[in-house]
Chains A and B, each alone.
Chain A
Amino acid sequence: MSLFTVLLMGKSGSGKTSMRSIIFANYIARDTRRLGATIDVEHSHVRFLGNLVLNLWDCGGQDTFMENYFTSQRDNIFRNVEVLIYVFDVESRELEKDMHYYQSCLEAILQNSPDAKVFCLVHKMDLVQEDQRDLIFKEREEDLKRLSRPLSCTCFRTSIWDETLYKAWSSIVYQLIPNVQQLETNLRNFAQIIEADEVLLFERATFLVISHYQCKEQRDAHRFEKISNIIKQFKLSCSKLAASFQSMEVRNSNFAAFIDVFTSNTYVMVIMSDPSIPSAATLINIRNARKHFEKLERVDGPKHSLHMRMR
């Protein structure tokens, strides 16, 4: 069992609790309007893929709390941190102050957890005019990368109203998955055996993409997070009607897509563009692959090679 401490920091009202609620607590974007200010630190334990636990520290951003994190609470907050996620409100009018706090964070990280991975989320991008977004993000990213030296940071532009939120969090969590290489190798083997165009592996509760395989280039580079977003929303809508989403098949003349429960902690999406392969075959193949992938998810599962037959 791997335990990772993830610090979620940023100015008050920047969107930390909203993000956390959408990704981990099944909120839809509209629900986050009801949230109140976070008092001091809210701790949550998120179980991920059965062998990963995220110890999430959602830190209230009011000045009084921030001052405290850097002084009396410093060791408590910044020690043994694996990931720092710093959220910037793109509309903030106090850029200097934001940067000052960010740098204080980095200082504390450098002293207490120098190996931590740093992510900067430039958030609420939906409030920026569409044609300005790329430019503004690029500027911010440059500033942040410069300011963060000697530490390196990975920047994402995000909004709770589109798929960009999923892209950021998928990328963050992906870096923490213990046996991700093994997972990817096995997924590739699986995809090649069943002759799929593309296979996606999602974490079951959050629908974050944790692994994928593609055999050829596709047009939309953002399709993964878009699918996360769409399926998650659909799943939540189903539960509001007291129905629980299990599987889905989407077909047209060009392709067939299958979304189904995979292991106890994952969902799988398989895209087939060969029309000669019937649905039933693909579904059986998915079912047969399950057992193998279940074993992979156990903490000290031995290495297995994939034995399968095409029907």
Chain B
Amino acid sequence: MVQVYIITKPELQNKLITVTAMGKKLIGCPVCIEHKKYSRNALLFNLGLVCDAQTNTCVLEPVVKKLSGYLTTLELESSFISNEESKQKLLPIMSTLLEELNAKGACTLPINESNTIHLKLIQLRKDPPIVQEYDVPVFTQCKDHFIKSQWDLTTQQILPFIDGFRHIQKIAAEADVELNIVRIAVQNLLYYGVVTMVSVFQYSNVYCTTPKVQSLIDDKSIQEECLSYVTKQGQKRASLRDVFQLYCGLSPGTTVRDLCSRYSLQLQRVDERRLIQFGLMKSLIRRLQKYPMKVMRDERSRPPRLFTGCHSYDEICCKTGTSHQELDERLENDPNIVVCWK
């Protein structure tokens, strides 16, 4: 009994309705135009799309709603749907709609001399996480594939400074663009999957492997990508054995500096910065950050602003302009501060 959701009672009119029945999903928007010129004082119609029941139809919803609006206007302006002659055009229009949406995800529908309808399926992405000033943007694909001119002026200005090692604050300073604007621009790039965020590289950083590191052994394509990415410029390709050993050498308590001294042989053909960068981008490894927390304090003193256990060394150093080393020295001598690694 699907028809009550297609040509509906007044309460459901002008609303986007999706019905799942008979193994299909029907997405439509029933319209009612009241006017005494129509034989029953109103015209009721609905242009809908039919998909397989398993399909995710979110992207189709704006298209259906738009079409119902366009058709309503066409009817009000020139009786496009009710007029016997122009009504005939609906069939080829619907045919084109089906073909082009399926093939290209977009379509152009010429209606008459004065009207053409353009439609496009827009993929909805998840909201990107907030970009922090101590985070580092790195391109997910080769930078050269990136067509500069299509992007806004800010993005074009900061692009040369995105090298996978500069953090947001540094990019803002060097590109001479306000910090918040850089954050927004990078967040935009993050939304479209052009860049991904990693943490700042320092030799004092500590990393550890994730279960995903196994994919280096199992997945041939990741292997290939990894080896070409981490091989030092001008060197023969690094071996999988060496690279895998290096990743596994990362563990809590081991700094990158430690890794370099222990595995100097394996690092002969591997760029350790790119090794870490790749590992982070593909989630083969993760960074262990230090979070200082004030544990004992006077009842009367103000609550700690940054030493709450929620702000990492990276963040604190970035915000206060101190280096990790300076911060270390300061906190090591403070008995009230405990540092957590997570």
A162, CB-defined interface residue at 8 Å: no
A68, B1: Cβ atoms closer than 8 Å: yes
**B28-73 CB contacts (< 8 Å) to partner A:** 34, 36, 39-42, 44
B42, A37: Cβ atoms closer than 8 Å: yes
Secondary structure of the A side of the interface? loop
A73, CB-defined interface residue at 8 Å: yes
B8, CB-defined interface residue at 8 Å: yes
B4, CB-defined interface residue at 8 Å: yes
- Bound Cα distance from A73 to B4, whole angstroms: 12
A114, CB-defined interface residue at 8 Å: no
B7, CB-defined interface residue at 8 Å: yes
In the complex, what's the smallest C-beta–C-beta distance from B14 to chain A, in angstroms?
A: 14
A36, B41: Cβ atoms closer than 8 Å: yes
B3, CB-defined interface residue at 8 Å: yes
B9, CB-defined interface residue at 8 Å: yes
B7, A39: Cβ atoms closer than 8 Å: yes
The 8 A CB mask of A91-130 against B (1 = contact, 0 = none) is 0000000000000000000000000000000000000000
From B1, B9, B39, B41, give the contact of A39 (CB < 8 A). Answer: B9
Given A13-B40, A64-B3, A68-B3, A36 contacting B34 (CB threshold 8 A): yes
The count of A-to-B residue pairs whose CB atoms sit within 8 angstroms is 29
Number of interface residues of A (CB under 8 A): 13
- Bound Cα distance from A37 to B36, whole angstroms: 12
- Bound Cα distance from A237 to B9, whole angstroms: 31
Q: Please indicate the chain B residues that have their CB under 8 angstroms from the CB of A37 in the complex.
A: 40, 42, 44
Specify which of A33, A37, A39, A73 lies most central, judged by the most chain B CB atoms within 10 Å of its CB.
Answer: A39
Q: Please indicate the chain A residues that have their CB under 8 angstroms from the CB of B39 in the complex.
A: 13
B1, A34: Cβ atoms closer than 8 Å: no
Q: Which residue of A lies closest to B3 (CB)?
A: A64
From A36, A64, A65, A72, give the contact of B42 (CB < 8 A). Answer: A36
The 8 A CB mask of A35-76 against B (1 = contact, 0 = none) is 111011000000000000000000000001100100011000
Q: Please indicate the chain B residues that have their CB under 8 angstroms from the CB of A13 in the complex.
A: 39-40
- Bound Cα distance from A36 to B44, whole angstroms: 10
Please name 18 pairs of A and B residues whose Cβ atoms are closer than 8 Å in the assembled complex, sorted by A: A33-B36, A33-B41, A34-B36, A34-B41, A35-B41, A36-B34, A36-B40, A37-B40, A37-B44, A39-B4, A39-B7, A39-B8, A39-B9, A39-B44, A40-B4, A40-B9, A65-B3, A68-B1
Closest 4 CB pairs of A and B: A37-B40, A36-B42, A36-B41, A39-B9
> What is B's interface to A at a CB cutoff of 8 Å?
1, 3-4, 7-9, 34, 36, 39-42, 44
Known: A36-B34, A36-B40, A65-B3. 18 other contacts (CB 8 A): A13-B39, A13-B40, A33-B36, A34-B36, A34-B41, A35-B40, A35-B41, A36-B41, A37-B40, A37-B42, A37-B44, A39-B8, A39-B9, A39-B44, A40-B3, A64-B3, A72-B1, A73-B1
